[in-house]
Homo-oligomer: A and B are copies of this chain.
Amino acid sequence: MSLRHALLGLLAERPSSGYDLMKLFDTTLANVWRATQSQVYGELTRMTDAGLVDVSAEGPRGRKEYTLRPEGRTELQRWLTTPAQPQPLRSEWMLRVFFLGLLPTDQARAQLVRIAEAEAEQITELEGLLASRDWAGDPLSVSGRLVLEYGLRGSAMKREWARWALEQMPGDRQPPAGADAP
């Protein structure tokens, strides 16, 4: 049910339309919780039915602005203070790593190299994001900065791990200079 809580959290900052919320998912929450357009609109309808939000204003082009109701705020607080139970873990890239042993060594190593490279790119991107704006100020900026830092540390960790993994794999030996290749 976390899509609902993400929406409640965003609406706690300011009333917004489904379209506004969509853009927030694509930008600020892109590295935390993705949602599609049809999900957002559908969930907003259900949240209205459930009495968590209200349509507080209607604008041009059928725009509907949603506002948090007290019930919604209560639910948000409840969720934020409830300890998260561990979510079902599913990581496709780790699954691939787990089965790396089924590939010829050179192909397996190539996959690890790819992981390290992809993560280096990710670091560049996140560093750009870090430099792109001021992270002091309003509360959501502060916690946004926390999330970004986690992303940076996670990517650095993953890149280092991939390098370490390459060292563990057989076939790492450098052929001595001048050795004849078979």
Contact = CB atoms under 8 A, between A and B. Distances in A.
Count copies of this chain in the complex.
2
A82 B140 CA distance: 38
Interface string A63-96: 0000000000000110111011001111111111
B103 A81 contact: yes
Contact of A80 (B6, B91, B103, B165): B103
A3 B121 CA distance: 28
Interface residues on A, range: 35 or more
Contacts of A83: 114
A32 B89 contact: yes
Interface string A40-65: 00000000000000000000000000
